[in-house]
């Protein structure tokens, strides 16, 4: 597969996709987690709680790789950003406010809720509603339109507990569909 051009890569990274952040554990082994991110053309940014184990790993060893890929069902394409992560105090909540509407749009939440409620009706044990708490009548306790505001309000109550992880790329690799 061919590498993406810088313009293709920037466009790809600016679309809403879940990234996978790989950090190193105490023994030097990789540990990868899904994460929301923002790309500005030069650096990747993510937010995290100050109590997250990934922050302890980053403080011990800042080497990381953020990989972003197309989902199943479309031609393969991906970008891997390898670099060193730093932690910015007191900026995480502002980043969360920017990213939440991008990663949790109302239309998507409504589709997720519909699918989850249907699964629950078919098999109560298989039900997994994620962040949307359900009542016995299978309706959200909060209207979907208010859910994002609820998350941000909850996160805002502890705004000082959110930090920004910034990746300064040392190498960016990519693969474009042919």
58 plus 130 within the same structural domain:
no
Residue 32 lies inside a defined structural domain of this protein: yes
Residue 142 lies inside a defined structural domain of this protein: yes
28 plus 85 within the same structural domain:
yes
- Residue 154 confidence (pLDDT): 74
Residue 67 lies inside a defined structural domain of this protein: yes
pLDDT digits (tens, 9 = 90+) for 71-129: 999 899 999 999 999 999 989 989 988 888 888 776 665 555 455 455 545 544 433 44
Distances 154 to 28, 46, 64, 75 between C-alpha atoms, Å: 35, 18, 29, 38
Residue 73 lies inside a defined structural domain of this protein: yes
Residue 146 lies inside a defined structural domain of this protein: yes
Query: Alpha-carbon distance 143 to 46, whole Å?
Result: 27
Would you say residue 1 has pLDDT above 60? yes
34 plus 118 within the same structural domain:
no
120 plus 171 within the same structural domain:
no
pLDDT digits (tens, 9 = 90+) for 15-42: 999 999 999 999 999 999 999 999 999 9
Which residues form the domain of 163? 6-97+158-175
Residue 1 lies inside a defined structural domain of this protein: no
pLDDT digits (tens, 9 = 90+) for 123-153: 444 334 443 344 333 344 445 556 677 777 7
139 plus 164 within the same structural domain:
no
Neighbours of 170 (CB within 10 A): 10
Residues paired with 44 in a beta bridge = 39, 167
Total domains present in the chain: 2
Query: In terms of C-beta density within 10 A (0-12 exposed, 13-18 middle, 19 or more buried), how is residue 165 classed?
Result: buried
Query: Alpha-carbon distance 128 to 31, whole Å?
Result: 25
- Residue 122 confidence (pLDDT): 53
DSSP run (H or E) holding 174: strand 162-175
Mean per-residue pLDDT, 49-71: 95
113 plus 89 within the same structural domain:
no
């Amino acid at each position: 597969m061919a590498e993406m051009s810088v313009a293709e890569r920037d466009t790809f990274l600016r679309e809403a996709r879940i990234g996978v952040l790989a950090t190193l554990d105490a023994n030097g082994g990789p540990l990868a987690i899904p994460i929301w991110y923002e790309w500005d053309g030069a650096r990747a940014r993510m937010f995290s709680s100050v109590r997250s184990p990934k922050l302890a790993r980053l403080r011990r060893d800042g080497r990381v790789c953020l990989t972003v890929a197309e989902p199943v069902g479309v031609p393969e394409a991906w970008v891997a950003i390898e670099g060193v992560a730093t932690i910015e105090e007191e900026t995480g909540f502002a980043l969360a406010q920017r990213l939440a509407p991008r990663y949790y749009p109302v239309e998507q939440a409504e589709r997720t809720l519909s699918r989850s409620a249907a699964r629950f009706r078919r098999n109560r044990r298989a039900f997994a509603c994620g962040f949307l708490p359900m009542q016995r009548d299978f309706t959200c306790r909060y209207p979907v339109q208010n859910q994002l505001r609820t998350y941000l309000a909850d996160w805002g109550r502890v705004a000082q507990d959110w930090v920004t992880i910034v990746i300064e790329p040392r190498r960016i690799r990519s693969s474009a569909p042919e």
